[in-house]
Amino acid sequence: MKRETVTEAPTVEEAIDAALEELGVQQDAVEYEIVEEPGRRMFGLGSEKAARVRVWVKDEFLRELATAETEEHEAEEPTPEAGHEPAELEEEDLDRIADTAVDSIQTILSTLKLEASIEEYEGDDGEIILDVVGGDLAVLIGRHGKTLDALQAIVYAITNRQVGFRYPVVIDVEGYRHRRREKLEAMAQRTADRAARQHSPVRMRPMNAYERRVVHVALRNDSRVTTSSDGQEPNRQVVVKPR
């Protein structure tokens, strides 16, 4: 994740927006300084002078994100680490997890002055899925889903810390992650076909923890192949191997 950038635009606001797009975060996650104010060149000569700003991600946001990514990495395989998740949860426990996650999302939406509703349903593997729906929520998705990934990491970390254990909670926006999951599952199947056909391991492109888990789950019942994760973040990959 890029931590700092310098951008130029006709106004300070536009320069900051460009920086947020490049960094893949929202404004509450950054600090900035105005390197150069917009205006006319000296003595009115030349074209208008652009605004220039330096924008960097706050340390506390980076720490929160790092904690979340570590926890997601530890929980990415289908079998959770012992001691972090009860074998069976009561309905009231699941409600408490969902309510905690929803409260976190609502706080973020309020900070961003966004109005939306949150639909809750259960995933195929028992995970809690919270889909944020409403008006124009593209800002919550970001370029290539980077902002949504950051939202997922933050809500996941806050929820796990407050309830005291890890439980799979997936944050979506207008079904974007669901559509991306379907594409990942199709990609996983094509990779498994290739590995089985070639009788050799196939490395998939680098993925984040959520994407890797989707692939692991998609192929866990495929009798032709096994899967594992290899490498260091942010270049960690799923390796699909023939049995």
Query: Token digits for 178?
Result: 């669901």
Each residue of 19-78: pLDDT tens digit? 877 776 667 778 889 888 887 554 444 456 788 899 888 877 666 655 555 544 444 444
On whether both 169 and 112 belong to a single domain, the answer is: yes
pTM score over 0.85: no
On whether both 20 and 94 belong to a single domain, the answer is: no
On whether both 110 and 142 belong to a single domain, the answer is: yes
Query: Token digits for 240?
Result: 């699909």
Query: Token digits for 5?
Result: 């950038």
Each residue of 112-122: pLDDT tens digit? 888 899 999 88
Domain count for the chain, please give it: 3
Rounded to 5°, angle at Cα 149 from 182 and 27 = 140
In a domain, 62, yes or no: no
Range of the domain at 213: 180-242
35 neighbors 6 (Cβ within 8 angstroms): yes
pLDDT in tens, the chain (243 residues): 567 889 988 888 888 888 877 776 667 778 889 888 887 554 444 456 788 899 888 877 666 655 555 544 444 444 333 334 444 678 888 999 999 999 999 998 888 888 899 999 888 778 899 999 987 788 888 877 888 888 888 898 899 888 888 888 999 999 998 888 899 999 999 999 999 999 999 999 888 877 888 899 899 999 999 999 988 877 889 999 999
Torsion (CA) 189, 192, 193, 197 in degrees, nearest 10? 180
206 neighbors 232 (Cβ within 8 angstroms): no
On whether both 11 and 50 belong to a single domain, the answer is: yes
Distance set, CA 11 to CA 5, 17, 23, 105 (Å): 16, 10, 19, 31
Query: Packing angle between helix 209-219 and helix 59-75, nearest 10 degrees?
Result: 10
